[in-house]
Protein backbone atom coordinates (compact mmCIF):
# COMPACT_ATOMS: atom_id res chain seq x y z
CA UNK A 1 0.00 0.00 0.00
CA UNK A 2 1.29 3.46 -0.92
CA UNK A 3 1.31 6.56 1.21
CA UNK A 4 -2.19 7.53 2.30
CA UNK A 5 -3.58 10.75 0.87
CA UNK A 6 -4.82 13.42 3.27
CA UNK A 7 -8.48 14.38 2.82
CA UNK A 8 -10.43 17.27 4.36
CA UNK A 9 -14.22 16.90 4.26
CA UNK A 10 -16.11 20.14 4.92
CA UNK A 11 -19.85 20.05 5.63
CA UNK A 12 -21.62 17.43 7.72
CA UNK A 13 -25.23 18.12 6.80
CA UNK A 14 -27.90 15.68 5.64
CA UNK A 15 -25.76 14.46 2.75
CA UNK A 16 -22.24 15.19 3.96
CA UNK A 17 -22.62 13.40 7.29
CA UNK A 18 -23.01 9.89 5.82
CA UNK A 19 -20.72 10.64 2.84
CA UNK A 20 -17.86 11.53 5.20
CA UNK A 21 -18.81 8.47 7.23
CA UNK A 22 -18.22 6.17 4.26
CA UNK A 23 -14.94 7.91 3.53
CA UNK A 24 -13.80 7.43 7.12
CA UNK A 25 -14.04 3.66 6.70
CA UNK A 26 -11.58 3.58 3.80
CA UNK A 27 -8.00 2.61 4.64
CA UNK A 28 -6.71 4.57 1.65
CA UNK A 29 -7.05 8.05 3.17
CA UNK A 30 -6.28 10.08 6.28
CA UNK A 31 -9.48 12.00 6.91
CA UNK A 32 -10.14 15.23 8.78
CA UNK A 33 -13.63 16.73 8.92
CA UNK A 34 -14.89 20.21 9.69
CA UNK A 35 -18.38 21.58 10.20
CA UNK A 36 -19.34 25.15 11.01
CA UNK A 37 -21.73 23.81 13.66
CA UNK A 38 -19.51 22.15 16.29
CA UNK A 39 -22.48 20.22 17.67
CA UNK A 40 -22.89 18.35 14.39
CA UNK A 41 -19.15 17.67 14.24
CA UNK A 42 -19.23 16.31 17.79
CA UNK A 43 -22.12 14.00 16.93
CA UNK A 44 -20.27 12.77 13.82
CA UNK A 45 -17.14 12.00 15.85
CA UNK A 46 -19.19 9.70 18.08
CA UNK A 47 -20.34 7.70 15.06
CA UNK A 48 -17.03 7.58 13.16
CA UNK A 49 -13.39 7.38 14.17
CA UNK A 50 -11.59 10.23 12.45
CA UNK A 51 -10.14 13.59 13.41
CA UNK A 52 -12.48 16.53 13.77
CA UNK A 53 -10.73 19.85 13.06
CA UNK A 54 -11.47 22.98 15.05
CA UNK A 55 -10.95 25.29 12.06
CA UNK A 56 -11.06 25.21 8.28
CA UNK A 57 -7.37 26.13 8.19
CA UNK A 58 -6.46 23.13 10.33
CA UNK A 59 -8.57 20.83 8.17
CA UNK A 60 -7.28 21.85 4.74
CA UNK A 61 -3.69 23.04 5.10
CA UNK A 62 -2.13 19.60 4.55
CA UNK A 63 -4.95 18.10 2.47
CA UNK A 64 -4.29 16.47 -0.89
CA UNK A 65 -8.06 16.46 -1.45
CA UNK A 66 -10.60 18.94 -0.13
CA UNK A 67 -14.23 17.80 -0.37
CA UNK A 68 -17.13 20.15 0.31
CA UNK A 69 -20.84 19.40 0.66
CA UNK A 70 -22.82 22.40 1.83
CA UNK A 71 -26.14 24.07 1.06
CA UNK A 72 -26.03 27.18 -1.15
CA UNK A 73 -23.77 29.47 -3.14
CA UNK A 74 -23.59 31.74 -0.10
CA UNK A 75 -22.25 28.89 2.06
CA UNK A 76 -19.52 28.08 -0.44
CA UNK A 77 -18.54 31.73 -0.78
CA UNK A 78 -18.16 31.99 2.99
CA UNK A 79 -16.26 28.73 3.39
CA UNK A 80 -13.84 29.48 0.58
CA UNK A 81 -13.45 33.26 0.39
CA UNK A 82 -14.33 34.75 3.81
CA UNK A 83 -11.62 36.13 6.09
CA UNK A 84 -11.42 32.78 7.88
CA UNK A 85 -12.00 30.82 4.68
CA UNK A 86 -9.83 28.17 3.11
CA UNK A 87 -8.56 29.89 -0.05
CA UNK A 88 -5.27 31.07 1.50
CA UNK A 89 -4.60 27.75 3.23
CA UNK A 90 -5.02 25.26 0.38
CA UNK A 91 -1.96 23.28 -0.63
CA UNK A 92 -0.66 23.87 -4.13
CA UNK A 93 -1.29 20.82 -6.28
CA UNK A 94 -4.28 19.69 -4.24
CA UNK A 95 -7.68 18.76 -5.67
CA UNK A 96 -10.90 20.47 -4.58
CA UNK A 97 -14.13 18.49 -5.09
CA UNK A 98 -17.41 20.32 -4.49
CA UNK A 99 -20.50 18.14 -4.06
CA UNK A 100 -22.74 21.12 -3.28
CA UNK A 101 -25.47 21.91 -5.80
CA UNK A 102 -24.55 25.46 -6.77
CA UNK A 103 -25.10 27.85 -9.63
CA UNK A 104 -23.11 27.45 -12.82
CA UNK A 105 -21.66 30.92 -12.25
CA UNK A 106 -20.21 29.92 -8.88
CA UNK A 107 -18.69 26.72 -10.28
CA UNK A 108 -16.89 28.77 -12.93
CA UNK A 109 -15.77 31.32 -10.33
CA UNK A 110 -14.43 28.61 -8.02
CA UNK A 111 -12.55 26.95 -10.87
CA UNK A 112 -10.87 30.21 -11.92
CA UNK A 113 -10.04 31.31 -8.36
CA UNK A 114 -8.61 27.94 -7.34
CA UNK A 115 -6.61 27.56 -10.56
CA UNK A 116 -4.89 30.84 -9.72
CA UNK A 117 -3.76 29.18 -6.47
CA UNK A 118 -2.51 26.05 -8.22
CA UNK A 119 -5.48 23.98 -7.02
CA UNK A 120 -7.56 21.78 -9.37
CA UNK A 121 -11.35 21.98 -9.12
CA UNK A 122 -14.12 19.49 -9.84
CA UNK A 123 -17.78 20.54 -9.61
CA UNK A 124 -19.47 17.29 -8.66
CA UNK A 125 -23.10 17.64 -7.52
CA UNK A 126 -24.81 14.43 -6.48
CA UNK A 127 -28.19 12.78 -6.94
CA UNK A 128 -29.76 10.03 -4.89
CA UNK A 129 -30.99 11.85 -1.83
CA UNK A 130 -30.37 11.11 1.82
CA UNK A 131 -30.97 7.39 1.29
CA UNK A 132 -28.38 7.32 -1.49
CA UNK A 133 -25.85 9.04 0.76
CA UNK A 134 -26.53 6.67 3.66
CA UNK A 135 -26.21 3.62 1.44
CA UNK A 136 -23.18 4.94 -0.45
CA UNK A 137 -24.85 4.70 -3.86
CA UNK A 138 -24.98 8.31 -5.01
CA UNK A 139 -24.76 9.36 -8.64
CA UNK A 140 -22.16 12.04 -9.31
CA UNK A 141 -22.14 14.46 -12.26
CA UNK A 142 -18.66 15.94 -12.66
CA UNK A 143 -17.22 18.92 -14.51
CA UNK A 144 -13.58 19.87 -14.85
CA UNK A 145 -10.47 18.09 -16.05
CA UNK A 146 -10.97 14.42 -16.91
CA UNK A 147 -7.49 13.64 -15.62
CA UNK A 148 -8.24 15.30 -12.28
CA UNK A 149 -11.52 13.40 -12.02
CA UNK A 150 -9.71 10.12 -12.75
CA UNK A 151 -7.27 10.92 -9.94
CA UNK A 152 -10.22 11.56 -7.61
CA UNK A 153 -12.43 8.63 -8.52
CA UNK A 154 -11.11 6.22 -5.89
CA UNK A 155 -12.10 8.73 -3.23
CA UNK A 156 -15.50 9.55 -4.74
CA UNK A 157 -16.29 5.85 -5.13
CA UNK A 158 -16.29 5.39 -1.35
CA UNK A 159 -19.77 6.97 -1.21
CA UNK A 160 -21.07 6.77 -4.78
CA UNK A 161 -22.22 4.20 -7.30
CA UNK A 162 -21.96 6.16 -10.55
CA UNK A 163 -19.51 8.89 -11.52
CA UNK A 164 -20.18 10.48 -14.91
CA UNK A 165 -17.83 12.96 -16.54
CA UNK A 166 -19.86 15.75 -18.11
CA UNK A 167 -17.10 17.93 -19.58
CA UNK A 168 -15.41 21.21 -18.70
CA UNK A 169 -15.82 23.07 -15.43
CA UNK A 170 -19.45 23.90 -14.65
CA UNK A 171 -20.91 21.06 -16.72
CA UNK A 172 -21.52 19.00 -13.59
CA UNK A 173 -23.75 21.73 -12.20
CA UNK A 174 -25.57 22.07 -15.54
CA UNK A 175 -26.26 18.31 -15.50
CA UNK A 176 -27.65 18.58 -11.97
CA UNK A 177 -29.95 21.38 -13.15
CA UNK A 178 -31.38 19.04 -15.79
CA UNK A 179 -31.85 16.42 -13.06
CA UNK A 180 -33.83 18.84 -10.89
CA UNK A 181 -35.93 20.11 -13.81
CA UNK A 182 -36.90 16.53 -14.64
CA UNK A 183 -37.73 15.67 -11.04
CA UNK A 184 -39.94 18.76 -10.74
CA UNK A 185 -41.90 17.72 -13.82
CA UNK A 186 -42.23 14.12 -12.67
CA UNK A 187 -43.56 15.15 -9.26
CA UNK A 188 -46.07 17.57 -10.75
CA UNK A 189 -47.39 14.90 -13.11
CA UNK A 190 -47.46 12.27 -10.37
CA UNK A 191 -49.28 14.64 -8.01
CA UNK A 192 -51.99 15.39 -10.54
CA UNK A 193 -52.34 11.73 -11.50
CA UNK A 194 -52.80 10.68 -7.89
CA UNK A 195 -55.30 13.46 -7.21
CA UNK A 196 -57.28 12.36 -10.27
CA UNK A 197 -57.21 8.74 -9.03
CA UNK A 198 -58.41 9.80 -5.58
CA UNK A 199 -61.24 11.84 -7.08
CA UNK A 200 -62.40 8.74 -8.96
CA UNK A 201 -61.95 6.55 -5.85
CA UNK A 202 -59.62 4.12 -7.62
CA UNK A 203 -57.94 1.45 -5.51
CA UNK A 204 -54.46 2.90 -5.10
CA UNK A 205 -52.62 -0.38 -4.62
CA UNK A 206 -54.15 -1.84 -7.76
CA UNK A 207 -53.54 1.35 -9.71
CA UNK A 208 -49.87 1.61 -8.77
CA UNK A 209 -49.36 -2.07 -9.51
CA UNK A 210 -50.87 -1.52 -12.94
CA UNK A 211 -48.99 1.62 -13.98
CA UNK A 212 -45.64 1.29 -12.21
CA UNK A 213 -44.61 -1.51 -14.55
CA UNK A 214 -45.31 0.49 -17.70
CA UNK A 215 -44.25 3.63 -19.46
CA UNK A 216 -45.36 5.87 -16.56
CA UNK A 217 -42.92 4.24 -14.14
CA UNK A 218 -40.36 6.45 -12.41
CA UNK A 219 -38.24 6.45 -9.25
CA UNK A 220 -40.66 8.98 -7.80
CA UNK A 221 -43.65 6.73 -8.50
CA UNK A 222 -42.01 3.63 -7.04
CA UNK A 223 -40.65 5.35 -3.93
CA UNK A 224 -43.12 8.18 -3.25
CA UNK A 225 -46.56 7.50 -4.75
CA UNK A 226 -47.89 5.50 -1.79
CA UNK A 227 -46.58 7.97 0.79
CA UNK A 228 -47.99 10.87 -1.24
CA UNK A 229 -51.39 9.17 -1.20
CA UNK A 230 -51.05 8.76 2.59
CA UNK A 231 -50.03 12.46 2.87
CA UNK A 232 -46.67 11.57 4.43
CA UNK A 233 -43.93 14.01 3.48
CA UNK A 234 -40.91 13.41 5.70
CA UNK A 235 -38.56 11.55 3.37
CA UNK A 236 -35.40 13.54 2.93
CA UNK A 237 -34.86 16.25 0.33
CA UNK A 238 -36.73 19.31 1.60
CA UNK A 239 -38.75 21.80 -0.45
CA UNK A 240 -36.36 24.52 0.78
CA UNK A 241 -33.52 22.96 -1.18
CA UNK A 242 -35.59 22.31 -4.30
CA UNK A 243 -36.58 25.97 -4.41
CA UNK A 244 -32.89 26.86 -4.22
CA UNK A 245 -31.97 24.41 -6.99
CA UNK A 246 -34.81 25.37 -9.32
CA UNK A 247 -33.90 29.02 -8.77
CA UNK A 248 -30.45 28.26 -10.19
CA UNK A 249 -32.08 26.50 -13.16
CA UNK A 250 -34.38 29.44 -13.89
CA UNK A 251 -31.53 31.92 -13.56
CA UNK A 252 -29.34 29.90 -15.94
CA UNK A 253 -32.16 29.57 -18.46
CA UNK A 254 -32.13 33.34 -18.95
CA UNK A 255 -28.61 33.08 -20.37
CA UNK A 256 -29.25 30.13 -22.71
CA UNK A 257 -32.73 31.22 -23.92
CA UNK A 258 -34.42 27.97 -22.90
CA UNK A 259 -38.07 28.24 -21.92
CA UNK A 260 -38.62 26.78 -18.45
CA UNK A 261 -42.25 27.85 -18.18
CA UNK A 262 -43.39 24.59 -16.57
CA UNK A 263 -40.41 24.55 -14.19
CA UNK A 264 -41.26 28.12 -13.15
CA UNK A 265 -44.82 27.01 -12.37
CA UNK A 266 -43.57 24.18 -10.15
CA UNK A 267 -41.10 26.58 -8.52
CA UNK A 268 -43.97 28.95 -7.67
CA UNK A 269 -45.97 26.06 -6.21
CA UNK A 270 -43.06 25.11 -3.97
CA UNK A 271 -42.68 28.72 -2.80
CA UNK A 272 -46.41 28.72 -2.02
CA UNK A 273 -46.00 25.55 0.05
CA UNK A 274 -43.10 27.09 1.96
CA UNK A 275 -45.30 30.09 2.73
CA UNK A 276 -47.86 27.67 4.14
CA UNK A 277 -45.40 26.01 6.52
CA UNK A 278 -43.94 23.20 4.43
CA UNK A 279 -40.37 24.45 4.12
CA UNK A 280 -38.96 21.18 5.45
CA UNK A 281 -41.50 18.78 3.96
CA UNK A 282 -39.94 16.65 1.23
CA UNK A 283 -40.47 17.55 -2.41
CA UNK A 284 -43.30 15.05 -2.90
CA UNK A 285 -45.42 17.47 -0.81
CA UNK A 286 -46.20 19.11 -4.14
CA UNK A 287 -49.24 16.84 -3.79
CA UNK A 288 -50.57 19.29 -1.15
CA UNK A 289 -50.69 22.35 -3.39
CA UNK A 290 -54.28 21.78 -4.55
CA UNK A 291 -55.44 20.83 -1.05
CA UNK A 292 -54.04 24.07 0.41
CA UNK A 293 -55.19 26.38 -2.36
CA UNK A 294 -58.85 25.45 -2.85
Spatial distance between the Cα atoms of 221 and 185, rounded to a whole number of angstroms:
12
Angstrom distance (rounded) from CA 252 to CA 55: 34
Q: Is the dihedral of CA 81, 86, 91, 95 positive or negative?
A: negative
Burial class for 293, CB neighbours closer than 10 Å (0-12, 13-18, 19+): exposed
256 membership: H or E segment, kind and range: helix 239-256
Secondary structure letter of residue 4 according to DSSP: P
Contacts 24+ apart (CB under 8 A), 20-27: 20/44, 20/48, 20/50, 20/67, 20/69, 21/47, 21/48, 22/136, 22/158, 22/159, 23/67, 23/155, 23/158, 23/159, 24/48, 24/49, 24/50, 25/158, 26/155, 26/158, 27/1
Which residues are registered as beta bridge partners of 122? Answer: 97
176 in catalytic set: yes
Backbone angles phi, psi at 123, to 5 degrees: -85, 120
**Among 176, 244, 264, 276, which one carries the catalytic annotation?**
176
Burial class (CB in 10 A: 0-12, 13-18, 19+), 196: exposed
Q: Which residues are catalytic?
A: 176
Amino acid sequence: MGIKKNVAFIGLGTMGYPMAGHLSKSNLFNLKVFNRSPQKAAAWSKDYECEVSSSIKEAVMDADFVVTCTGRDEDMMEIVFAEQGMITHLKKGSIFIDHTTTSYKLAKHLNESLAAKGVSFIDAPVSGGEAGAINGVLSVMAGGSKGVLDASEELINTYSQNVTYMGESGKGQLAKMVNQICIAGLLQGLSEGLLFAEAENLDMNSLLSAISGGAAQSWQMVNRAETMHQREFDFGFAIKWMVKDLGYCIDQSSSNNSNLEFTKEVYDRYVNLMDKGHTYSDTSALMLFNDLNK
